Structures are given as structure tokens and as C-alpha cells.
Amino acid sequence: MDSLTRQIEEFLPAARKLVREFVGVLRKQYLLGKPAGRAKSASLKDSKFFGMWRDRSEMADSVAYVRELRRQQWSPERHHDNQNPS
């Protein structure tokens, strides 16, 4: 018996079951060339998150909104203030 097999045999039964399942997934994916349980990609538009901010007026121009967030977060003044507390 090789070292890995001996180590696995020392595991509790529940852990050995997980190892068997994991090895099964690896075999399907890498030895048999089949994807391991991949689901079809759903359309992002069908997601419940799509459009969740559509009523937020400050996000009407999302590019400008993100640019302003970054400016506020990464401005030199902000970093200067955080480095020298009063």
C-alpha cells in the first residue's frame, strides 16, 4: 500500500467518502475528458440582480459614478489625511 493510500485509510469514514467523491470528480474531468457537473450558464439578464440599481439617480451614468467613487477613495488628500491622524 502506498503512502497516500495509508494516509487516506487513517481518515474517518465520512472523510474517506469525501476523498472517493473528489477522486471521482477528478477522474471525470481529467481522465475521461468530461466536465464535472458544469451547469449551463444562465443569462445575466435573467438574474435577480440585473437592474437592481436602475432607480438610483446617482447611477444614471455608471461610468461617471464609478469614476467619482475612485476619485474619492484614491485621492491624494484622502491618503494624506489617513497617514497623519490629528
Surface-to-core class of residue 29, CB atoms within 10 Å of its CB (0-12 exposed, 13-18 middle, 19+ buried): middle
User: Stretch 56-82: mean pLDDT, rounded?
Assistant: 82
Q: What is the pLDDT of residues 11-65, one digit of tens each?
A: 888 889 999 988 888 888 888 765 555 556 677 777 777 777 788 888 888 899 9
At residue 25, the pLDDT reads: 86
At residue 41, the pLDDT reads: 67
Q: How confident is the model at residue 76 (pLDDT cuts 50, 70, 90)?
A: confident
Q: How many residues does the chain have?
A: 86
Give the three cell numbers for residue 55: 432607480
Alpha carbons 19 and 12: distance in angstroms, whole number: 11
At residue 79, the pLDDT reads: 60
